[in-house]
Structures are given as C-alpha cells and as structure tokens.
Chain A
Amino acid sequence: DTEVTQTPKHLVMGMTNKKSLKCEQHMGHRAMYWYKQKAKKPPELMFVYSYEKLSINESVPSRFSPECPNSSLLNLHLHALQPEDSALYLCASSPTAGETYEQYFGPGTRLTVT
C-alpha cells in the first residue's frame, strides 16, 4: 500500500478564514512533506517533518502553520491567506532512514482563496 490521503479535495476560503488541510499515511514512513503547486508549474517544497519534528521550512510565510500530531498525520493550518496562495497543496511521505528516498504523493487539496 503506497497510499497517501488528503482532505478535503477542494477548499474555498476567504482571506479572514481559518482552515486546515489534513494528510494521512499508513506506510510507516517517518518523513512527511507539504508542497505547493501552481498551475503548469512543478511542486515547490514548503515543509519537511522528520520523526514528527520540523526539519525544513523553505521560508514559508507564517500564515501557513504545519503540525505533525503523530507519525501518520500531517496538518497544514491556514490563516489570513491571500488570493495568490490559491494552488494545489500536495502532501507526500517517504522513509527517512535506509537507502531509499522515494516520495509518495497524495492527490492534493485544491485551495481557492477569495
């Protein structure tokens, strides 16, 4: 099973709203990632969690707040977003230790900020 699930699939929110994106994997992976993807562009790394600890933050604005409650779950809390934050938000996971680093992606959440 190489499945990463994400909810919701679509989200429309106003600039004053607070919402959260959720991601879950049951592959025993200990690294989880958030990516942002704009139309016709490749995914851009936002955050990396390794063993439930934030290991990489690619200079993401504080209106995006990640959280890793346990090794299977990853959340992205959203607050006071801007219309330019509208994008496909992808979650991925991978094994951290060992010799393989394949990242498996979820289907994404399509976010629209109005």
Chain B
Amino acid sequence: GQQLNQSPQSMFIQEGEDVSMNCTSSSIFNTWLWYKQDPGEGPVLLIALYKAGELTSNGRLTAQFGITRKDSFLNISASIPSDVGIYFCAGQKDNYGQNFVFGPGTRLSVLP
C-alpha cells in the first residue's frame, strides 16, 4: 500500500538553529500536508501544498512540494523551545482529498 518515509527519525538541535526534514515516497502524491503534534494533543496543521514545485511559508516554517511529486520538505528557521514535538507529513493520492496516509514522524528536540 501507500507508504511514506520521513527523515530524520529524530533530531536534537540547539535553540536558534535551522531545521530541515523531509518526507519521501515511491508513489506520486497530489497533496502534501505538514502537521505538528504535542504529547497528548491532536495534530495541528502547519502547511498544505497542492502543486508540484510549490513553496509555501508560515512564519518561520517553509515547506516545498517536490518537483517529482514523490517528496516534500519542511524547514524551520531559528528554532525555539516550543518547536519541540513530532512533525508528521501526510500525503494524498486521490482527487477527493479524503484518504491521507501519514509518515512515521520526525521527533524534534530543542536544547536551550
């Protein structure tokens, strides 16, 4: 079935550093979503991408829809302690936007 890979699996960075993570698949996707999840809470939508090559920003976050439509990248600039959490990518292949598959997540820790 559909499967997404995320890397790195986890990362420890110093406050103020920039962060890069990615999401890849062997299949083509039509939509990519990036979520952040804090412990015991639901995922919060960060960025949605709908077109190959699209680059979208949300504050210190920037995400890109890969040209091949098989990957997406999320960058966080000038990390702060509240960036700690698990970052999930989610991809959707069909045209109805209903059946998303989630990647395994990247766990981010920010050291003061």
Contact = CB atoms under 8 A, between A and B. Distances in A.
How would you classify the secondary structure of chain A's contact residues: helix, strand, loop or mixed? strand
Interface residues of A, number: 31
A2 B88 CA distance: 19
B59 interface: no
B103 A42 contact: yes
Interface of A: 2, 4, 6, 31, 33, 41-45, 48, 50, 55-56, 88, 90, 92, 94-96, 99-108, 110
B6 to A, nearest CB: 9
A90 B50 contact: no
Interface string B60-88: 00000000000000000000000000001
Contacts of B104: 41-42
A48 B88 contact: no
Given A42-B88, A96-B96, A96-B97, A103 B102 contact: no
